[in-house]
Structure 1
Amino acid sequence: MLTNLSFLERGKAFPPDSEKYRLETYLDHRKLFENNHAEVYKEQFRRIERVIGNFDRVVSYGTVFNYQRLLSVKTADLVFGEPPKVTVADDNKQKVIDKILLDTDLFGCAYISCIDVSRYGDSIMLLSCNDKGLPSIDVVSPAMWFPVVNQDNIRQFQYHVFAWVYLIDTVKKQYGLKVQIHKPDEPEKCEAHNYELNGKPGSFKIGREITQKQELNLETSMNTCPVYHISNLLTSDNIYGHDDYEPIDSIVAEIIVRVSQISKVLDKFASPSMTGPQSALERDEVTGTWRLKVGDYFPCDNDTIKPEYLVWDASMDANFKQIELLTNQLYTISEMGSAVFGDLTNKAGDVPSGSALRRLMMSPLAKARRLANRFDPTLKKIISASAEIMGTEIAPEEITITWHDGLPADPAEDAEIMSLRTGGKATLSQYTAIQRLDDMSAADTDAELAMIRSDDIDSSVGLEEPALEPIEGI
């Protein structure tokens, strides 16, 4: 970890040695998310090639299972797929919050941030004031983030340094390094630097500074630090969060190897050969080759082998059992369970009820709640700072965020619960039921109710008993 700004001095290596492993891990996890498994799992893919020696002429490819991407996306879906509700007691302040959510696309940025938290372990959200004087929110890759912490308390950030390499001259292959330094104690200022880089990618050294004087100090127009850090699982001795990929990397790699090996073996024996007596063959006079006479009759006795296909009996039960074991371990270690990956009941068409689905999703819902707890205070601070940019003071403690579980509702089950709790009384008017069910406007709903009442009147008139006429003489 970094405890001072000396890593930006001339002649120092960039990136710093203490950050190289983190950045390499980010790069690998980005490749996994983008389906480039072969670049990350090189040794595992060599195992696929070595499964059988004589496989040069068999066209077969490694079967990639991108559980990592699915894990990140489903995690973000559970946390932000059903956007949380942000409320405040004051109506005027509520209008300001609603405008902030709409103009900044806060929950869209938070969804991206949640994916980064899953695949990298950390995410950085950056708040700024645009040219129109309105708040703007961006999600910055943690690969550009180099935090400087207090050596006595690593939870205390001294500086948030953003540094990225860019190409100065495409012909000469000259690279530069742009740096922005945010100090939490002085949020209204941002220090900017621009350096030349010496050497080649992977072994850069910081060269002379080429920053223009007018670029050195930038105004942020902020009264609070614009950098917001959200981390995944944290420990007391690390400032970076633990990602979701590393615990399952070896399991996913082994599943890919096993399934790919099985596929290659099946490809090898996809075209079975035949065996039979010599009399079943005839010689082609043109090519001089022997071929099987199909459709003829070949007499067989005890000393003659009848023509038949060579059936290959592969005992692969152990392979499939290992794949099943690995898959179950993947469900457990990822904390996502089988339901998130699409395996609900192992029965096609059998969909569990709402309560049963929640029981299956207890582990992933607990994980989503843990992440929501990490996002909750950060989003409140971002909304508060955004309101301040717009000239309204809303303290973070005034804001309430109601989180949802992201699971689909079960209307039949909800209606049954409402009926039990109200003693069988109606909990929804006919007007509201029609409007919600058919997604009608107010005018269409009024017209539909009028027609229903008209039908009821016609039905009741038709069911009236005819009046009895008096009988003469009685």
Structure 2
Amino acid sequence: MFNKLLRREKHDDSIEYEYRPSDTLFEKGKLFPPTDDLERLAKYERGRKLYEGNFRDLPKRAQELLKDTPHVKRLQSLYLAVNLTDIIIHKPADLMFSEDPSFESGMNADSTEQLRLSSIVEENDMSALGQELVVGAGIRGDAFIKTYFSYREDFSELPFVPKGVEMEAIIESQDPSTVFPELARGSKKKFKAVNIAQIEWVMELNGEEHPYLNVERHLAGFIQYRRFKLNPLPQIITEYKVTQKQYEILEEVATDRDHDVVETGVPMNLIRHIPYKATDTHWNGISSTEKIESLIYAINDRLTQIDYILLKHSDPTAYGPDLQQVEMTWGGRYIPMRKEEVAPSYMTWDGKLADAFKQLETLINLVFQVSETPQWLFGTTIGNAGGTGTSHTDGSAIKARFMPILSKVKRIRTNIDRAFRDSLYISQLLENTANEIGFTHYTAVYPKIRWRDGLPANEKELAEVMQIRTGGRPTIDVRTAIKNMDGLDDAQAEAIIEAMEKDGEADKLAQPEDFNKFDPLAQVDVEEEKPEEKETEEVDE
């Protein structure tokens, strides 16, 4: 009730904007998380539980429908849950990063710009980071990456930083449930500031725990640090199908930092947003889990009910002649019957199992269809779901079969590509701004990423097509061919080319004159033959 009194009426997001001058999300007397973000955070939590297969606190339709009947306890004990979201969410990430993308600066392979770019990519393991971001965005709809300049390891427990350790540009993922953006005035997608806010429970000397809110407010070129003390007794919110805690901000306290405002030296926000699927109506991304959430609930309920029906059929109620109230099992026993007595039998009922299995098949097919993922992609299908996907061998046919999932991967890759390139560019700006001792200054370049679709390529088919189209002329140089075939960058391709040239010199075929050139006996024979020729000429004269 108290939360509803504090809650204000929302505006129509489709045609209206909200502007609050000189006001931040976190101030004394306000609530954390902010009320406007509760629905978004609840969606994140439901998606996480759905992905992890934790259905304990998620809706169960059959139990809710039969909660006032004796069946509810049996359904709860027989509840089955199938975690289809796991394999569906991981497949785009597997296709996108099964082959490492190439990061290029547009400079020579041995240039400082390309060497630094390759070093940043290698040190931050961008392929593993990208797979993690795609999976996280599929669960929640949003992913964020944060770029900063610091030590990669945490040396807070040491009295000093070990010798030889240098600060570097770090790119890492940021949990979306800790990110609270502030929109620019008149915009639904542009951020004027991005807040990273997390609750920290501190153990006091008297043994009591108190919650504190640490806020890291990112602006273009600056970072502002703040710290607040919270009320340890939160309000419990259950409006959005999950249990949420909302704390009251009591007061602002010192951060214990040397400077609460730090200049980054980069005229950009260090936090980059990656939506899984974006629209022009709001900045929030749309996840895979929210599209199939109700279907997953229906599948689990149907599996539970089928299991319940089969268990009831395995132990049906029997009826027959009165055996003087003696309870016995029917299996393996001989029961004598009289003419006027009723033959023993079982009570059976029509559980509509065929219809139940048909609906289950339809629900599973709908999950894959809504997810834009062919069911045969996982090596098996249920019912008539479009074949197995193994009858096509040429490249064009395979790509045609993979078209739904490839289109989905390309859409996700568009957002990943922009965020990765921004973060790599920011990393170059940060290390140039830091200008550590011994660092060679260079001009930061906005990189280009060469992606692969993750499908097996038919190189022979591709080479034949290229040969026909060009009339037998070469269409690719050695460097590019090596880069494309093996997924290498310029420096790695250059090293292979140099090794190939050395092997070519070693394998060069020797000509006969090469042996004579270095054979001393051959030279002697030539010199001895010349006088004989002169003597022959004199005799002829």
Measured against the shorter chain, the TM-score band is: 0.7 to 0.9
SS at match of 1:39: coil
Task: Write out aligned runs for 1:340-355 (5 A).
Answer: 340=377, 342-343=379-380, 351-354=390-393, 355=396
After superposition, what is the alpha-carbon deviation per residue over 1:383-436, rounded to whole angstroms, capped at 9, x for unaligned? 22323426443421xx321211223x165xx5355456657x9x9xxxx9xxx9
Q: Which amino acid aligns with 1:320?
A: F
Q: Which deviations, in whole Å up to 9, do the C-alpha atoms of 1:413-471 show, x marking residues without a partner?
A: x5355456657x9x9xxxx9xxx9xxxxx9xxx9xxxxxxxxxxxxxxxxxxxxxxxxx
- The equivalent of 1:323 in structure 2 is 360
1:404 is matched with 452
Q: TM-score, normalised by structure 1?
A: 0.76
Question: Contact between 1:128 and 1:136, CA under 8 Å: does it hold in 2?
Answer: yes
Q: Per-residue displacement from partner, 1:156-198 (whole Å, max 9, x unpaired)? A: 32111111111123743421100011111xx2x3111111012
The equivalent residue for 1:115 is: 135
d(CA) in 1 for partners of 2:25, 2:461 = 64
Report if aligned partners of 1:48, 1:260 keep a CA contact under 8 Å in 2. no
In the alignment, what sits opposite 1:380?
421
Kindly name which structure, 1 or 2, has the bigger radius of gyration based on alpha carbons: 2
Percentage identity across paired residues of the two chains: 23
Query: What is the RMSD of the two structures over their aligned residues, measured on CA atoms?
Result: 3.7
Tell me whether 1:395 sits opposite 2:395 in the alignment. Answer: no
Matched, 1:339 2:376: yes
Aligned to 1:181: 217
Structure 2 counterpart of 1:415, which letter? K
Q: Which residue of 2 aligns with 1:271?
A: 315
Unaligned runs of 5+ in 2: 1-17, 152-165, 235-244, 433-440, 475-481, 487-498, 504-541
How far is the alpha carbon of 1:48 from its aligned partner? Answer: 7.8
Structure 2 counterpart of 1:192? 225
Which position in structure 2 is the counterpart of 1:150? 184
Partner of 1:46: 63
Partners of 1:245 and 1:361 lie apart in 2 by: 21
Aligned partners of 1:261 and 1:361: how far apart in 2?
35
2:253 alignment counterpart: 210
Relative to structure 1, is the Cα distance of residues 229 and 316 closer, same or farther in structure 2, using a 3 angstrom cutoff?
Answer: same
How far the C-alpha of 1:338 sits from its partner, in A, is 2.1
Change (3 A) 1:295 1:183: closer
Which amino acid in 2 is paired with 1:129? Answer: F
**Runs of at least 5 residues in structure 1 that lack an aligned partner in the other structure:** 437-441, 447-474
Name the SS for the 2:188 alignment partner: strand
Partner in structure 2 of residue 162 of structure 1: 196
**More off after superposition, 325-334 vs 172-181:** 325-334
Change (3 A) 1:293 1:142: closer
Q: In structure 2, how many angstroms separate the alpha carbons of the residues matched to 1:293 and 1:155?
A: 71
> Following the alignment from structure 1 to structure 2, what is the Cα–Cα distance between the partners of residues 292 and 155?
71
C-alpha distance after superposition, 1:343-377 (max 9, x if no partner) = 45769987333454433321121011011111112
Cα distance change, pair 292–113 in 1 and its aligned pair in 2 (3 A): closer
Distance verdict in 2 for CA 1:9–1:357, change over 3 Å: same
- The CA deviation at 1:106 is 1.6
| Distance in 2 of aligned mates of 1:2 and 1:335 | 38
Partner of 2:538: none
How far did 1:232 drift?
Answer: 2.6
- Structure 1 range deviating more: 336-345 or 362-371: 336-345
